[in-house]
Structure 1
């Protein structure tokens, strides 16, 4: 719910990097160098937050921070907090390893102290949400059960997975919701000594930012919400809207691939080829050398979805899909891109079940919505993020602390919401809905492909930078083609 090429680089490097554990309670953070080759000026610290603000006896969590000091301190505007998405994404890694390295974003590095942070439970914040990967994801599990035994098996699996995560994580698991994380942002602001913050949130970072703005509108200087999530939408509606957006992106990729000499499946019926690969995977006929076993249909579909985030990844998707459907099939390039075995999948699931709980009570309503899902996404229905939340949270025993509901923003300065007409993860309707819930918000619409404007559109990057520096939103009806 996070971009994918940059995120993959960030994840790979963050795993090997050590963030100094510098404890800080209510005082200002104590910054220590955590330089990287990409960002030699990076500094790291921690800030303490209560696990449960109503129950201080549960103790505190330490939030990991990384700061890139403004390169032009004489013209410094203030602190720009960044969240790259998820849930479960690392703002520390995003800052340290080049998340804002594009030349188009150079002015942000000049004028702001860029501050990335790992939200509670994520990455180098402690305690970290920890789950056994094999318990959390069972490739043999039916995530679309239509019978009572199948539904009961899904519930039993999810209860077992949650019990494992709780045993490994402790009480933080019950308080890993976005409402709590938004209050943590206020703690960070106070610790930084900033009267107001600027915010750049991508994907899940739009939900987190919007909740913070609703809670603390007077503490917002400027806020970009790019790849917008409208958390007011009921889960069944959001599931179908996102599935349709994923399908749209797959169909657009297939049309590009069929007509482009740069695609390994040039000239072929790409959707038919995709359907054949998924069907063969469902029969156990698609090997993955990365997994050391046949890939499931869900894993293949999720891997294709992972390539749709960046338009620049479409040639790689053509190559990897062709390899999966070849004479000697190997789905390695696809299974490497799905998140089922990602190091953040535990945090993704735990936070997701707080924010996007399952609407299902039994096999009847689950089967009914699954039928609508297949109609909305006849090719890509096997994987979409909201169905992953809904199926994975069915039976999850930790009570959801932040289910979907309206949370309007009033009293903040103008906020820029960015949505894509062909975004595979966050439909344009969500951006419109979120913008409508924010008093004085401006909507920038992208008509190109990929998830978030920051990683797919030079036009959107320019508009976001100009707004963050000036505080002036684009005019009504602004469009990036």
Structure 2
């Protein structure tokens, strides 16, 4: 999602029944004011008025708007419209229910996922369920967070080198929060997952479902888990895939776990290349080649393959080149990319640009309390991450933590309490680069007797369609509520 530059119009808060707000969320570095406890239950009378989404190149999807309160603690106050989309079950006679997909990110557009196609689900799921998703508040068509393009361009380097840098980042974050709040409107202070849980229940009611069938992926698992905690008896079935563990209490523990799972994916890549004749780096010291690229990127001498003539920064080499391939479990593609970069002609040393953060940083800041006291503590955290992930410096989680410095957190971390919920399927790859397998084990344990862990013995971010074993287990659970035996593990399918 690209940032919107220089947008100054104040997005309106939609009245009930008006058209959904359009526009793209922008890359922001911010956080949210603490909100009062959210107590209200969504009304069951909201009606979704479906119409074709309007993209003739991608027919079959229907769109609607769902009116919800800006702040569920004050349900009679201002409202906003959430953008919603669905694709109906391909076999209406065999339809089970609506299944709501919780998008990841944070900041992914669920509407875009549905409109573009829902290939992430098996044919059996698409046959038996209306697949529904939405843009979470502050994202896409749901009153997107909007900030000054000029101010965004002034973002300090995320790599802090002194207490002065730390203080400058804190001051910048305060200025940006104030700007984004003024341009976005009242919803800016109510973007956290606890509010979105109430939105999800309002969507369930508007769909006419007595109980919710839900599939959450990555950041969407936080929404699913907290829904099960808030409304355990309103859950029919729930799949949590590539799981966020919101019980990780401290900044150090959060960053250590993220660094460890990222390094695990790098180690798996090195091991694969040593044994794969078709690896573009086979027979070479993969780690030495990679460290050479990091050094060239640090000097501004590595050309960005997507932007000829411009330098690729070290953070972008790690987060955009390596991590994207880890997400896809595309080891062959990563080896080819590294070989191409290694053989490229060095650029004259030049400054590299500051990478943009994900488009919904304020949503992350509202859910994660990750305080850092001062530069000394920051430097200690960076050193710890570099020890845990020596091949992957500048990982995105430390940048996100820096982006949230000084931001209040409306929905801070806590252990789950959803023991009254029915069985919930927790799905994870053993080698997930972003949401590590230990997080899935932890969440399944927190769910107690409700948590059923399904393990994919392979790689990548996402697992439910990785081979017939995974698909069959998920299909049987969603359609027939047949829970796989505890401890079920599925073999890795051949990867590239």
Instruction: Please report the TM-score for the alignment, with normalisation by the length of structure 2.
Output: 0.83
Report the CA distance between 1:155 and its aligned residue. 1.7
Aligned to 1:395: 406
Partner of 2:474: 464
Cα distance in 2 for partners of 1:188, 1:412 equals: 19
Deviation of 1:224 (Å) = 0.2
Change (3 A) 1:299 1:176: same
Q: Do residues 233 (structure 1) and 244 (structure 2) align?
A: no
CA change 1:462–1:22 in 2 (3 A) is farther
Distance in 1 (CA, whole Å) between partners of 2:354 and 2:204 is 31
Q: Which residue of 2 aligns with 1:191?
A: 206
SS of residue in 1 equivalent to 2:359: helix
Q: Is the 8 A contact 2:270 2:286 kept in 1?
A: yes
1:418 equivalent to 2:423? Answer: no
Q: Distance in 1 between matches of 2:273 and 2:147?
A: 38
Shift in CA distance, 134/242, structure 1 to aligned 2, threshold 3 Å: farther
Against the structure 1 CA distance between its residues 222 and 373, is the aligned structure 2 distance closer, same or farther, given a 3 Å change threshold? same
Mapped pair 1:443 → 2:462: no
**Does the aligned pair in 2 maintain the 1:120–1:181 contact within 8 Å?**
yes
Q: Secondary structure at the match of 1:224?
A: strand
Report the CA distance between 1:208 and its aligned residue: 0.6
Instruction: Give the 3 Å change call, closer, same or farther, for CA 142–92 of structure 1 in structure 2.
Output: closer
Q: 1:266 aligns with which of 260, 266, 282?
A: 282
Contact 2:72 2:198 in 1 (8 A): no
Cα deviation per residue 1:416-441 (whole Å; 9 max; x = unaligned)? 00122211001111111111111421
Specify the alignment match of 1:255 in structure 2.
Answer: 271
Where in structure 2 are the equivalents of 1:134-153 lying within 5 Å?
135-136=151-152, 141-143=157-159, 145-153=160-168
C-alpha change, 1:459 and 1:264, in structure 2 (3 Å) is: same
* Residue correspondences, number: 447
| Equivalent position SS for 2:64 | strand
Q: Does 1:368 align with 2:380?
A: yes
Cross-structure match for 2:38: none
The structural deviation recorded for 1:38 is 7.8
Note the alpha carbon deviations across 1:419-470, whole angstroms, 9 max, x for none: 2221100111111111111142100112201112035454323321221111
Consecutive unaligned residues of structure 1, counting only runs of 5 or more, are 1-6, 9-19
Residue from 54, 71, 76 that aligns with 1:52: 71
Match of 2:484 among 471, 474, 480: 474
Conserved in 2, the CA contact under 8 Å of 1:453 and 1:460? yes
Greater helix share, 1 or 2? 1
Mapped contact 1:226–1:452 kept (Cα < 8 A): yes
Match of 1:305 among 310, 319, 323: 323
Tell me how far 1:181 sits from its aligned partner: 0.6
CA distance in 1 between counterparts of 2:148 and 2:489 reads 44
Higher relative contact order (CA 8 A, sep 6+): 2
1:346 aligns with 2:359: yes
1:72-101 CA distances to partner (integer Å, 9 max, x unpaired)? 222221110002311111111112212336
Alignment partners' CA distance in 2, 1:202 and 1:23: 24
Tell me how far apart the structure 1 counterparts of residues 150 and 433 of structure 2 sit (CA, whole Å): 28
Q: Which entry has the higher C-alpha Rg, 1 or 2?
A: 2
1:36 Cα deviation after fit: 5.4
Q: Which residue among 327, 335, 342 is the counterpart of 1:325?
A: 342
User: Deviation at 1:57?
Assistant: 7.1
SS for the counterpart of 1:429 is: helix
Deviates more, 1:283-292 or 1:170-179: 283-292
Counterparts of 1:142 and 1:185, CA distance in 2 = 34
Alpha-carbon displacement from aligned partner over 1:387-434 (angstroms, at most 9, x marks no partner): 2321211133xx210111113112111000012221100111111111
**Residue aligning to 1:4:** none
Alignment pair present for 1:94 and 2:113: yes
**Residue pair 2:100, 2:131 contacting (<8 A) in 1 also:** yes
User: Could you say what the CA RMSD is over the residues aligned between the two structures, in angstroms?
Assistant: 2.7
- Which position in structure 1 is the counterpart of 2:26? none
The CA distance in 2 between the partners of 1:369 and 1:404, in whole Å, is 19
- Correspondent of 1:431 among 440, 445, 458: 440
Contact 1:309 1:450 in 2 (8 A): yes
Could you give the per-residue CA deviations for residues 10-61 of structure 1, whole angstroms, max 9, x where no partner exists? Answer: xxxxxxxxxx974699531000012657863211101011111234575111
Aligned residue in 1 for 2:392: 380
136 and 236 in structure 1: CA distance in 2 versus 1, 3 angstrom threshold: farther
Q: What is residue 15 of structure 1 aligned with on the other side?
A: none
Tell me by how many angstroms 1:229 deviates: 0.9
Cα contact 2:303–2:346 (8 A) shared by 1: yes
Partner of 2:14: none
Distance 1:134 1:239, change over 3 A: farther
> Structure 2 stretches of 5 or more lacking a match?
3-16, 22-42, 492-496
Shift of 1:250: 1.2
